[in-house]
Structure 1
Amino acid sequence: MTLPDDPSAIAWRLEVEDHDAGIDEITDLVAALREQVPADTVRALVIGEWGESYERALPIEPLIEAAGEWTGLRGVFLADLTYEQCEISWLTHGDITGLLAAYPSLEVLRVRGAQGLRLEPIRHTGLRELRFETGGLPAGVVRAVGACDLPALHRLDLWLGRKDYGGDASAEDLAGVLSGAGLPALRHLAACNAEIADAVAAAVATAPVVPRLEVLDLSMGTLTDEGAKALLAGQPLTRLARLDLHHHYLSEEMAASVVAALPGVRVDLADAQIADEHDGTLYYYTEVGE
């Protein structure tokens, strides 16, 4: 391996190109990185394909074992795969709590996929950004995030997804997050890609965390006029710098009402959708599913 002039300036990507490869191959890649790259220069890691990603949980144990050496690690992206490698709803994980516990100075954690994903409530004083990109985020993970103590967290992204793909969280499961109790520094909240977007909007309308936010993201979901009315009927949102509602099911009249009610707020209403009708039933879809 030829090292760049400044190894700390790049994110190291570990990936097994053979999708049938065994988990041991990721372990070997972590070992090679530990051997060939100065430990104090490892700042960011991206884990790609690890072999049969739809059946085997991404192995984080090798990363945890390296924690004593990688004291400068600040960013981790688990499962950076495209749909051509594995559909997002098939990506398999296990319990990721140990990773956070092993790296108290970690600042950014991004996780793609949520099949089998688990998290226990934890206090972490370094984390500034936490992002779950999923077609369906388990309710247990949503509740666990809300029960965490994350005093430095500035940005939280929860792609709630669809029940068909494991997204069984209700608006009530967001109560811990929306209370803001363990998230005093939160300024950017995304509760997006939600099949229950109207219920989420209604819960956000009275949520204690909202007055401290600069960005509220309810995009990529099935938001209809009902959810938008509930949102506007709640607490003032004019303190926001940005409200992201792109990929929505609002009527033109309601979209105009949202903009008119929020002068000075950048409102993203791009990608308006029209519900599919079949045998008299309307169907609404999140932007990201399988």
Structure 2
Amino acid sequence: MGIWDRQEEYAGLPVFRFDLERLDPETVADLPALPAAGTAAWCVATREDEEPFGDVWDLFRTSVDTTEVTALLIGDWGAEYGSGEQDGSYPAPILAAAAESFPKLESLFFGEITAEESEISWILHEDISPIFRAFPGLRRFDVRGSAELAFEPIRSDELKVLRFESGGLPASVVESVVASDLPNLEHLDLWLGVNGYGGDVSMDDLAPVLSGERFPSLRHLGLENAERQDEIAAAVASAPVVARLESLSLARGMLTDAGAEALLSGQPLTHLRKLDLHHHFLTDAMMARLKEALPGVEIDLGKQGDPEGSYFYVHVAE
């Protein structure tokens, strides 16, 4: 699933959408019956210029036994994307205030908003720190969009998956991630994006992750969607953290033969279970070399761009 598609599954559960249609007494009788609370990943959403997110949220809480909910997606909350203004419905404090009603919540996707609803770089955030403080038991946390996104470094023994989907990830976000104490984090994805949409992460910012000094339990690392994907590949080629990874993703970016050559010339990658390079600008000859050099590794080389073209681009920017 990409940013153009609604999630059909999250945290191993089918997604059930609880949106503003539930507020309409004339149509609610024709909507699907609500499943048992613990059998679905619940997506709560409204739309821009429609009913306030808080109204849908309140109905959700009174309609569903939230004490059994383990997975939650916060979709479109009706903000004026790209305007620089929020309407008071930013879900982070709303969700945090209801924390006692969600004692079993383990997985949270914050900003499950498709490109049709809003371009990823127009999703306007605020401080998401209240979520981490209110839900110390989260094991998985996904965030889409990064405009004005901020949070304080966190400490959690429970968090295993942390993902940031972005068209331009600010260095301040990576700094907070690196400063966080997450001894059991196994899966980290950072969509770095492009400078034009706020992606100003430097190799120095990534150094504590690549050196292996942070996140001792890390088994998957994704440094994706980057215009400087070749430079990242070269750094990864000698990064100590790679030796303990099971999977590595440099997908969605502007990877060319130069970056792939750096990977092949660096430390062995034959221990990896999977190497994800999809959406790239590699030549056919380089793709063949990668497959030959890593015969036991599952390599995703889908979505090949024109390596001789005049325009390279990341998969997700605006």
Cα distance change of structure 1 residues 42 and 76 upon mapping to structure 2, 3 Å threshold: same
| Aligned match of 2:26 | none
Between the aligned partners of 2:294 and 2:35, the Cα distance in structure 1 is 49
**DSSP 3-state at the match of 1:124:** coil
Give the alignment's TM-score, normalised by structure 1. 0.90
Q: Is the aligned partner of 1:185 residue 2:217?
A: yes
Point out where structure 2 has 5 or more consecutive residues left out of the alignment. 1-21, 23-31
Q: Is the aligned partner of 1:284 residue 2:312?
A: yes
Match of 2:234 among 202, 206, 214: 202
| Aligned match of 1:269 | 301
| Aligned match of 1:28 | 55
Q: Once the two structures are superposed, what CA deviation does each residue of 1:202-221 show, in whole Å capped at 9, x if it has no partner?
A: 11112121111111000110
Q: Which amino acid aligns with 1:10?
A: A
CA RMSD of aligned residues (A): 2.0
CA shift for structure 1 position 5: 5.5
| Aligned match of 2:201 | 169
Query: After the TM superposition, which of the residue ranges 110-119 and 247-256 deviates more from structure 2?
Result: 247-256
**DSSP 3-state at the match of 1:109:** strand
| Aligned match of 2:45 | 15
Q: Once the two structures are superposed, what CA deviation does each residue of 1:245-269 show, in whole Å capped at 9, x if it has no partner?
A: 1111122222222222222111122
Q: How does 1:1-290 map to 2 (within 5 A)?
A: 4=34, 6-17=36-47, 19-21=48-50, 25-54=52-81, 55=83, 56=85, 58-274=90-306, 282-290=310-318
Between the aligned partners of 1:45 and 1:133, the Cα distance in structure 2 is 17
CA shift for structure 1 position 53: 4.4
Q: Which amino acid aligns with 1:151?
A: P
Query: After the TM superposition, which of the residue ranges 29-38 and 80-89 deviates more from structure 2?
Result: 29-38
**DSSP 3-state at the match of 2:177:** helix
- Sequence identity of aligned pairs in percent? 47
Between the aligned partners of 1:53 and 1:188, the Cα distance in structure 2 is 35
Are the counterparts in 1 of residues 96 and 134 from structure 2 also a CA contact under 8 Å? yes
